[in-house]
Amino acid sequence: GAGVSQTPSNKVTEKGKYVELRCDPISGHTALYWYRQSLGQGPEFLIYFQGTGAADDSGLPNDRFFAVRPEGSVSTLKIQRTERGDSAVYLCASSLRTGRKDNEQFFGPGTRLTVL
Amino acid sequence: KQEVTQIPAALSVPEGENLVLNCSFTDSAIYNLQWFRQDPGKGLTSLLLIQSSQREQTSGRLNASLDKSSGRSTLYIAASQPGDSATYLCAVNSGYSTLTFGKGTMLLVSP
């Protein structure tokens, strides 16, 4: 089966514009996670979904960031009024379940966002 | 708040050497720990997952150990190869499902 896929792979936008980043999780995985990785840093958690609902959105930096997963599969991360500081690689991961010690997360290739 | 530290930040070794990458975490109440590999410009590839009740996991030339009480994990790579060159990331799941990552160790294996 296919792994986690993310589109686009690269996105260049201008300051102030709106962007959407898409994630397709592994089929059958109920949990989906968004992380952000800045240059030279490890990924940082943004939000995670269990099914259609956001179980934890404590990592979203401000209200310009929003994510949805309307049918419990594909998720879209939305960023309004982009700023240069939003430039980073946005990583999506999925896992079969949560709350268990064998919960393994599988990552997609990421979307590199550049805000000019 | 969980914090994860990886030492060294970078490592350069000749091909064939055995090497150890270190990871430490501040809160020992974890569910599991994952080691990932990241190639330049790419996503993360899961290498090993160690559950909190386990002491070690092995996959091929890789062996990861976990000492939960002291907040430490090591990734041992045997007989390193140039293809092992990448950044290795350690991540801890503290039971809230999300992962807390270290900054990684950048490994270069020269032929």
| pLDDT, tens digit (0-9, with 9 covering 90-100), for B91-105 | 999 876 789 999 999
Given its phi and psi angles, is residue A36 left (phi above 0), alpha (psi -120 to 50 degrees) or beta? Answer: beta
The predicted structure's pLDDT at residue A103: 83
Which residue in this structure is represented by tokens 């991961």?
A93
Nearest residue of chain B to residue A108 (CA atoms): B43
DSSP three-state, residue B82: helix
Does residue B43 have a pLDDT over 80? yes
Of B41, B43, B49, the CB nearest to A104: B49
The string of pLDDT tens digits covering residues A1-26 is: 589 999 999 999 999 999 999 999 99
pLDDT digits (tens, 9 = 90+) for A96-106: 877 677 788 99
Please state, in angstroms and rounded to a whole number, the distance separating the CA atoms of residues A11 and B9.
29
pLDDT of residue A1: 54
Strands (E), chain B: 4-7, 10-14, 19-25, 32-38, 44-51, 56-59, 62-67, 72-77, 86-93, 99-101, 105-110
Q: Out of A56, A91, A103, name the one closest to residue B93 (CB).
A: A103
Find chain A residues with C-beta within 8 A of B51's C-beta: 101-102
Q: Would an 8 Å CB–CB cutoff place A35 in contact with chain B? A: yes
User: Would you call A30 an interface residue with chain B, using a CB distance cutoff of 8 Å?
Assistant: no
Q: Does A83 touch chain B (CB under 8 A)?
A: no
Structure confidence by residue, pLDDT tens digits, A70-113: 998 999 999 999 999 999 999 999 998 776 777 889 999 999 99
Q: What are the structure tokens assigned to A110, written together?
A: 């990421």
Q: Which runs of consecutive H residues, i.e. helices, occur in A1-116?
A: none
| CA B75 – CA B44 distance, rounded (Å) | 16
Integer Cα distance of A61 and B94 in angstroms? 21
From B36's Cα to the closest Cα of chain A, the distance in A is 10
Sign of the C-alpha dihedral, residues B90, A2, B51, A48? positive
Please report residues of A whose CB lies closer than 8 A to that of B53.
101
Selecting from A103, A106, A112 the residue whose C-beta is nearest the C-beta of B97 gives: A103
Q: Which residues contact B6 (CB under 8 A, 6 or more apart)?
A: B21, B22, B23, B24, B88, B89, B90, B102, B103, B104, B105
Interface A-B, measured as beta-carbon pairs within 8 A, has a size of 73
Nearest-by-CA chain B residue for A97: B97
Q: Which two tokens stand for residue B87?
A: 């950044």
Exposed / middle / buried, residue B96 (Cβ in 10 Å: 0-12, 13-18, 19+): middle
